Amino acid sequence: MIRFLYLSSPVQVLCAVFLLGSLILQTLVLSQDIYLHNYHPSFRPRLILDLSFLALLCMPVLGLYAAVQQFIPGPGVWLNEAFWRGLVCLVHGCTALVYLYRQKDYSALVHPLLALLASPLCDLLPESGSFAAFICLYVIGILVSLRQLLHSRRLRQSTITGFSVYEAVSAMHEGVCFCDEGGYVLLVNSEMYRLMRRLLREIYTDGNQFWQDLQQQYFPSGDPLITLADGTTWMFSRTSMTDGKNGYIQITAADVTRQMEAAFSLRRTRTQLEKTSAELKQHLETLMEDSHEEVLHETRMRTHDLLGSRLSLLLQSLRYESASLDLQVLETACDDLMEEIAGSGSNITAAQEMDRLETVFEQLGIEIERSGPLPEGKTGRVLVDIFREAITNAVRHGAASRITAVSEETDDALIFTIKDNGTGTAAYHEGSGIRGMRRKVAEAGGTLEITSQPGFVIQIRLPRERSTL
């Protein structure tokens, strides 16, 4: 190493750069591996090898120090440099061989060579040879350290290590804290650190104390939900676990903001549905009441029409005692009175009902003339009801003896006209009978007109498409 002292200054600086570079790179290798593997037992052989290699790289510096001491007057070197160099080189070479045997990593074969280059044996070489060994040691040391750094980087990206686990846990949005049974914190991710600061204003190293303070301040009743000032809601939980030998405690904090919003939304929706259900129930009850009133109104109108018709028959039969009234026809007309009021009828058609009315009133001395088509279905029933009411009114109030009914079809309408030869009147009062006729015609989509004096003329106009049911 004494050859180093006779080199030019630029060369000495270059050699110093090699020396410092190798030491710095190997220190980085050692620190990165410790950080990645977190003192895992399987990493210990590699850790011992890296430590011994770092010590080996320092040995030529020790030899250079001894060479410098030869030019300084005084007591001389305070240690046996050759002995310690030889001991470190021997330890490193043996460590490399053991590591090679156990790990089957053949890249460790270079370490015995490096131990030989750093050993005192190289001092037996000529001055140029020992200096060349010094340069080779640090060049190869730099290459070995660079290779180890690249290998650690690939290992970090492709395998699960203690560091990769910590990175994965720290990247989680949920807060995580692991501690042993005594409360000593083993792992805390960044999210849990943030929650500790925001909730309790300090960082805890005792997991049990952290849980007790959290429970005491924020959920003494047992509901582990905490809403922060930013509107987020967190749910905390504490779980005990074991790896078969040791017990651990896991404290987690999950962001349940979306779940809580969904729960509130469901609650609001349920309340709205209950309110809507109550409103629908009320509307249904109102509709049932209205429907009931409509049925009662319809029944009253049918009762008015049918009873009025039957009473007119009876009054006419009593008024004209000489009339040849067929009592069997009168009895038939009265027998099905209750069925017709109930709405079931006797299942006869509109034309049959019209014929029966004509037969009954003609036997009472009322002359009826009818011409034109009579539609079936609902429209026919409407015309029959109006015809019955018109005959009843003509006989009871107008003392009519002749009634004509004419139906005509145009391109877009059916016109049904009823005339009588009764007394008529200039001013008449529209009772429930006439109002009922107007309502039925309006429901069928038509119009009704009444003229009087002499007699009464009732004209009904119904749409053509509704007149052919």
CB atoms within 10 A of CB 30: 18
Does 136 share its domain with 183? no
- Asked whether residue 82 falls in the same domain as residue 226, the answer is no
Which pLDDT tens digit goes with each residue over 128-144?
677 777 778 888 888 88
| Mean pLDDT score, 85-98 | 85
Mean pLDDT, the chain, rounded, equals: 76
Question: Does the pLDDT at position 103 exceed 70?
Answer: yes
Residue 266 included in any domain: no
Give mean pLDDT, residues 103-118.
83
Same domain, 180 and 150: no
pLDDT at residue 469 above 50? no
Looking at the structure, tell me whether residues 447 and 300 fall in a common domain.
yes
CATH number of the domain that 202 lies in?
3.30.450
% of the chain exceeding 90 in pLDDT = 6
- The reported pLDDT for the residue numbered 127 is 62
Q: Do residues 143 and 201 both lie within one domain?
A: no
163-173 pLDDT per residue, tens: 556 666 777 78
User: Residue 297 has what pLDDT?
Assistant: 58
| pLDDT range class, residue 269, cuts 50, 70, 90 | confident
Q: What is the mean pLDDT of residues 314-319?
A: 54
Q: Among 138, 163, 188, which residue terminates a domain?
A: 163
Asked if residue 461 is part of any domain, the answer here is yes
Inform me whether the pLDDT recorded for 21 exceeds 60. Answer: yes
Q: In total, how many domains does the chain have?
A: 3
Question: pLDDT digits over 64-86, tens only?
Answer: 666 556 555 545 444 566 777 78
Q: What is the per-residue pLDDT across 205-247, written as a single tens digit (0 to 9) for each?
A: 899 999 999 989 988 887 788 888 888 899 999 999 887 788 8
> Does any domain span residue 458?
yes
More confident residue, 323 or 79: 79
More confident residue, 427 or 374: 374
Same domain, 120 and 154: yes
pLDDT at 331 exceeding the cut of 80: no
**Residue 311 pLDDT class (50, 70, 90 cuts):** low
Confidence of residue 286 (pLDDT cuts 50, 70, 90): confident
Domain membership flag for residue 168: no
Whole-number percent of the chain with pLDDT over 70: 72
- Is residue 18 included in any domain, yes or no? yes
Instruction: Residue 413: give its domain's CATH number.
Output: 3.30.565.10
Residue 45 has pLDDT above 70, yes or no: yes
User: Does some domain include residue 264?
Assistant: no
Same domain, 152 and 186: no
Same domain, 237 and 378: no
Domain boundary among 163, 185, 208: 163
Q: Judge whether 271 lies within some domain.
A: no
Is 140 part of any domain? Answer: yes
pLDDT at 91: 87
Q: Could you tell me the pLDDT band of residue 162, with boundaries at 50, 70 and 90? A: low
The confidence score (pLDDT) of residue 210 equals: 92
* 251: confidence class by pLDDT, cuts 50, 70, 90: very high
| Pair (117, 246) in one structural domain | no
pLDDT over 60 at 323, yes or no: no
Which of 139, 163, 187 marks a domain boundary?
A: 163
pLDDT at position 237 is: 92
Q: Is the domain of 150 the same as that of 190? A: no
- CA 211 to CA 435: how far, in whole Å? 83
Could you list the residue range(s) of the whole structural domain that residue 210 is in? 173-255
Place of tokens 């005192």: 120
50 plus 198 within the same structural domain: no
Average pLDDT over residues 24-34: 81
Query: Does 215 share its domain with 123?
Result: no
